[in-house]
Amino acid sequence: MVNANQARRLVVLGTGGTIAGRATRANDNVGYVAGQVAVGDLVAMVPALAACPLDVEQVAQINSKDMVLGVWQALAAKVAEHLDRPEVAGVVITHGTDTIEETAFLLQTRLRPSKPVVLTCAMRPATALVPDGPQNLSDAVAVAMHPGARGVMVVCAGRIHDAIDVAKVHPYRTDPFDSGDAGDLGCVEEAQLRLFRPWPDAVRQGSHDHAGLQRLLAAASLPRVELIFSHANADGEVVRALLGHTAGAARLRGLVVAGTGNGTVHDDLLAALKQAEASGVEVVVASRCARGRVVPHAGQPLADSGGLSPVKARLALALQLLEV
Ligand code: SIN
């Protein structure tokens, strides 16, 4: 039997990032090394968390720009394992800001958890004069402990973002994320939540998308899907070069093109993309515009990303190709 108190246990998983970064000078917010401080020490920087029943585990210690399949697999397996523990109310993950939107997307689409999985981060290293990590971690815990919370979210600068919509939009500010047209999911004010829209989509507890998760965990590599841009003077040479790589796991399986405006693509690049399609490569178009989505219309020459940003469309296509 699990009593109500035990069911409020939280798990904090560390993966690195600036939140765990260390600089040689306290006033250096850019020349630091990410992924240095142990997640247990990050938790210890937030005195209020001492009263919270927490399990703390270091899954990785990386700069998230260097994210690889192996770390995603370890993290997804750990999250699924902890969510299955009846006494665990939710999971908080400390992560770098640079690819947090991809990790959040991966976890939401593979797990669709009925408990909260809250990724948090920082733009200033742990050694900064005024680090932002401790407040973000404290806010993430408030979200993960909130009754009824579910799904994968990113919490930063007092804002709660849905994993599907969140994107990093600024390289320096301590509030670097935006949820575009969808808007924030809510905010955290003095540990209180104010929700603006429903929690992310979830499936009943214990009925995770096991097949999709197992395929991800068993994969030796992700199918090769490259991301390219349409731009002035684009001539398709990059596509033809990619098509030249036909060997083994390096073989091109998919292409996402970040198109101009409403997903339009330079005619010369489009010709190369059609050649790729003809040779069996899946091609998807997203918009390179920072906001909005490709508005579908008759005669669209390429399949569109269904509103996903180019980086998320790339990951979505790789995961889809893993299924076939
Ligand atoms: C990283 O993504 O690991 C480094 C940058 C950051 O966390 O802001």
Q: What is the residue-level pLDDT of the chain in tens, covering all 324 positions? A: 445 455 589 999 999 999 999 999 999 999 999 999 999 999 999 998 999 999 999 999 999 999 999 999 999 999 999 999 999 999 999 999 999 999 999 999 999 999 999 999 999 999 999 999 999 999 999 999 999 999 999 999 999 999 999 999 999 999 999 999 999 999 999 999 999 999 998 876 555 557 889 999 999 999 999 999 999 999 999 999 999 977 776 899 999 999 999 999 999 999 999 999 999 999 999 999 999 999 999 999 999 999 999 999 999 999 999 988
Q: What is the dihedral of CA 162, 168, 169, 175, to 10 degrees?
A: 80
Domain 223-322: state its class. Answer: alpha beta
The catalytically annotated residue of 18, 94, 109, 120 is 18
pLDDT, position 248: 73
Burial category of 251 from C-beta neighbours within 10 Å (exposed 0-12, middle 13-18, buried 19 and up): middle
> Which run of H or E residues covers position 257?
strand 252-259
Tell me, using a 6 A CB cutoff, whether residue 98 lines ligand 1: yes
pLDDT of residue 57: 98
Give the model's pLDDT for residue 158.
98
Ligand 1 centre to CA of 122 (Å) is: 7
User: Is CATH 3.40.50.1170 correct for 6-215?
Assistant: yes
CB-ligand 1 contact for 64 (6 Å cutoff): yes
Which residue of 29, 62, 63, 136 sits with most ligand 1 atoms within 8 Å of its CB, as the best mutation to test the pocket?
Answer: 63
Spatial separation of the C-alpha atoms in residues 131 and 174, rounded to whole Å: 10
pTM tops 0.85 = yes
The domain spans of the chain are 6-215, 223-322
> Which residue has 């996402």 as its token pair?
256
Residue 210 in contact with ligand 1 by CB distance below 6 A: no
Query: Which ligand 1 atom is the nearest neighbour of the CA of 121?
Result: 7
**What is the CA(87)–ligand 1 centre distance, in A?**
31
